Amino acid sequence: MSMRVAVLGGGAWGTALAMQMRRAGNAVALWARDEATVEAIRRRENPAYLPGIEVDAGIEASTDWAATLDGAGCVLAVIPAQSLRGALAKVAGSVPADVPMVLCAKGIEHDSGLLLSQVAAEFLPNNPVAALSGPSFAADLANGLPTAVVIAAREEPMAVRLAQAFSTERFRCYSTGDLVGVEIGGALKNVFAIAAGAVTGAGLGASAQAAMVTRGFVELRRIAQAFGAEPETVMGLSGLGDLLLTCSSAQSRNFAYGLALGRGESLAGRPLAEGVATAGIAATIAGRRGIEAPIISAVAAILAGSITINEAVSALMTRPLRAEAG
C-alpha cells in the first residue's frame, strides 16, 4: 500500500525517514522551516544534518507546510520534542481530517509533563496519533543499514497499516497498540544515554556502565508501568532496544553530550540531545507519582548544576541496601 507521506522537519531524522518512505515506495513531501535545508534536499544532500550522505531522489522539499500537507495520507512529525507544540500550532489547520499523525521525536514536554501524543491530541483531536521509535540512528538508516523499529497506535490496525507502508527489507517495522509504552521508552532512554556517556567520560569503568544501564532500565520499567504500559513494550525495541543502542555508542548525541559532561568539556553549541530537557521533567513526574528513580533524579540534578558527577555517584552507591527485584 503506497501513499503520499508528509514529513515535517528537515533535520537528520526527518531527512532519513523521508528517504526511507521513498524506498518503501511512497510519494514523499518534506517541510523544513529553513530555505537552505530545502534547497540542499532538492540538491539531494543535507550537509548540516547528514554530512556526506546522498539524499534519495524524488523528495519534494518545501518551506510551505500547506503544500507539503496537501493530499497526505499520513504525516510524520520529526520536530524536536520541545518544539513540537509550536510547530503543530502552526500547521494543524492544514492537516487533513482523519489523517494519522506519526510522532517520531523522543521526549516528554518539559513545561507540561505531557507525552507528545497528548500534545498532538490538543491540536488534532480528530486525527489518529501514532509513534515510531526504536534503535535507529539517522545516518544508519540513510546509509541503508538494517534496523527494526516499532510503530504504536491505540487503534492497533492503524499501527499495522503504517508498519506495512513504511517497511522494506532494510527497515523492519513492528506494530503495537501500546502507544504510551513506546513513547516512554523512547523518551527515557535519552536520559540514561546521557548518564552512560557521563560514566564513560568520567572514567568510571565498564562495570559501572553496565550496572547503571541495568538499574536505569529498572527505573524505565517502573515509570512505564505507572503510565499503564505493557511489560513487553519496555522489553522491546523502543525500551530495551533503544537503551542498548544509545547507551553504548558515541554516535548517540545524548551519549556524546554525557561524554562531554563527564570529561568536563564545554556543553555549549552541541547538537540536539533530547534527554537534557526530558531529565528534569521525568524526575519531577517520578517524584510526584512516588516512583523511585534515583538515576533520573541524579542526571537532572547534574544537568541543573546542583551536584557533581562524583557527588551523584556517591549518593547512588550509599543508598540503603535493598533486594534487587521490585
Ligand X SMILES: NC(=O)C1=CN([C@@H]2O[C@H](COP(=O)(O)OP(=O)(O)OC[C@H]3O[C@@H](n4cnc5c(N)ncnc54)[C@H](OP(=O)(O)O)[C@@H]3O)[C@@H](O)[C@H]2O)C=CC1
| 146 binding ligand X? (CB under 6 A) | no
Q: Which of residues 169-228 bind ligand 13P (CB under 6 A)?
A: 190, 193
CA distance 153 to 148: 17
Q: Are 109 and 217 in contact (CB under 8 A)?
A: no
The secondary structure of residue 83, as a DSSP letter, is G
How remote is the C-alpha of 34 from its chain's centroid? 22
78 binds, among ligand X, ligand 13P, none (CB under 5 to 8 A by kind): ligand X
Closest-approach residue to ligand X (CB): 11
> Which residue is associated with the grid cell 507519582?
289
| β-bridge mates for residue 175, sequence order | 151
Window contacting ligand 13P (CB under 6 A); options: 111-119, 165-173, 213-221, 251-259: 251-259
| 38 binding ligand X? (CB under 6 A) | no
| 197 binding ligand X? (CB under 6 A) | no
The secondary structure of residue 238, as a DSSP letter, is I
12 binds, among ligand X, ligand 13P, none (CB under 5 to 8 A by kind): ligand X
The residue within the footprint of ligand X, chosen from 51, 86, 205, 264 (CB under 6 A), is 86
Window contacting ligand 13P (CB under 6 A); options: 27-35, 67-75, 176-184, 238-246: 238-246
The candidate with the shortest Cα–Cα distance to 73, out of 29, 24, 105, 125, is: 29
Draw the binding track, 252-271, toward ligand 13P (x: CB under 6 A; -: no contact). xxx-----------------
The candidate with the shortest Cα–Cα distance to 20, out of 128, 154, 162, 178, is: 162
| Cβ-based nearer residue to ligand 13P, 26 or 252 | 252
| β-bridge mates for residue 60, sequence order | 29
| 65 binding ligand 13P? (CB under 6 A) | no
Q: Which residues are annotated as a binding site for sn-glycerol 3-phosphate?
A: 106, 134, 136, 189, 242, 252-254
| 238 binding ligand 13P? (CB under 6 A) | no
Residue 232: how many other CB atoms lie within 10 Å: 11
The secondary structure of residue 241, as a DSSP letter, is I
| 82 binding ligand 13P? (CB under 6 A) | no
Residue 215: how many other CB atoms lie within 10 Å: 16
The residue within the footprint of ligand 13P, chosen from 4, 23, 85, 106 (CB under 6 A), is 106
| H or E element at residue 42 | helix 35-42
- Smallest gap from Cβ 210 to ligand 13P, in A, equals 19
Q: Are 288 and 112 in contact (CB under 8 A)?
A: no
Q: Which of residues 121-140 bind ligand X (CB under 6 A)?
A: 136-138
Binding-site size, ligand X (CB under 6 A): 28
| 55 binding ligand X? (CB under 6 A) | no
| 68 binding ligand X? (CB under 6 A) | no
The secondary structure of residue 308, as a DSSP letter, is -
Q: Is 90 a catalytic residue?
A: no
Cell of 297: 533524579
- Smallest gap from Cβ 246 to ligand 13P, in A, equals 5
> Per the residue annotation, which of 189, 245, 261, 295 is the catalytic one?
189
Cell of 187: 523518551
DSSP code string of 164-226: HHH-BTTEEEEEES-HHHHHHHHHHHHHHHHHHHHHHHTT--HHHHHHHHHHHHHHHHHHHHH
| 171 binding ligand X? (CB under 6 A) | no
Q: What residues are labeled active site?
A: 189
List residues near ligand X by CB under 6 A: 9-14, 32-34, 37, 49, 78-81, 83, 86-87, 104-107, 136-138, 271-272, 274
